[in-house]
């Protein structure tokens, strides 16, 4: 279980999050809603470690995963069980070729190439991104990029997947595909 306990986030003394207490149970899909600027993205960045590791912010309270504090844990350590799909997924891509992008994180974990390819084919089939394999990522639509990023999260097989405004800037058809992918990734 992921638990936020009395979480406070301040930037330059200004409160962004104040005494947030939330519990997320395994297997559940949780949606956090709110107006623009209310701290939703900042909350995800505290969970995945971008705040305070890269974005300065004063964090108080605690973020627990399986009763272990994530605060003070590096992004690298957290990446072993947390994946994040950002609002603009192209900011997180390292490779031009979509299949290479899906393989990238597993190669960094020293997983054998044949197992990597098996995972890519399995998750791209389950999540509906099979037609996007071996494409130039930067020639894909916004929805297709989002689907590649979600497929990469699935391939990681991390227990926590954070999606930051995954449907922003997507057309109706892409939103339907996104919803299907979220439902399917939760079943895997």
Nearby residues of 158 by Cβ (< 8 Å), 6 or more positions away: 79, 80, 81, 82, 83
Q: What is the pLDDT of residue 179?
A: 84
Tell me if domain 1-78 and domain 80-188 are identical in fold: yes
pLDDT digits (tens, 9 = 90+) for 62-80: 999 999 999 989 999 999 9
93 three-state secondary structure: coil
- Residues in CB range of 173: below 8 A, 6 or more apart: 143
Every domain of the chain and the residues it spans: 1-78, 80-188
Q: pLDDT band at 187, cuts 50/70/90?
A: confident
Q: Is the whole model's pTM more than 0.85, yes or no?
A: yes
Euclidean distance between CA atoms 118 and 126, whole angstroms: 12
Q: pLDDT band at 41, cuts 50/70/90?
A: very high
CATH ID of 80-188, from 3.40.50.300, 3.40.190.10, 3.20.20.80, 2.40.50.140: 3.40.50.300
Q: What is the CATH number of domain 1-78?
A: 3.40.50.300
Q: Is the pLDDT of residue 122 over 80?
A: yes
For residue range 127-148, list pLDDT tens digits in order. 889 999 999 999 999 889 989 9
């Amino acid at each position: 279980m992921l638990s936020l306990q009395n979480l406070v986030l301040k930037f330059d003394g200004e409160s962004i999050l104040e005494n947030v207490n939330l519990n997320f149970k395994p297997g559940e899909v949780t949606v956090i809603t709110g107006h623009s600027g209310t701290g939703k993205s900042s909350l995800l960045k505290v969970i995945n470690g971008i705040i305070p590791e890269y974005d300065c912010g004063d964090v108080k309270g605690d973020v627990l995963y399986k009763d272990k504090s994530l605060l003070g844990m590096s992004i690298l350590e957290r990446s072993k069980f947390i994946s994040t799909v950002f609002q603009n997924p192209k900011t997180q891509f390292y490779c031009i070729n979509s299949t290479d992008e899906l393989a990238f994180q597993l190669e960094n974990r020293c997983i054998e190439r044949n197992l990597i390819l098996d995972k890519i084919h399995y998750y791209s089939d389950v999540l509906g991104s099979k037609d996007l394999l071996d494409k130039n990522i930067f020639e894909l639509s916004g929805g297709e990029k989002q689907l590649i990023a979600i497929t990469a999260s699935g391939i990681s097989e991390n227990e926590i997947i954070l999606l930051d405004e995954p449907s922003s800037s997507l057309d109706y058809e892409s939103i339907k595909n996104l919803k299907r992918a979220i439902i399917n990734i939760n079943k895997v």
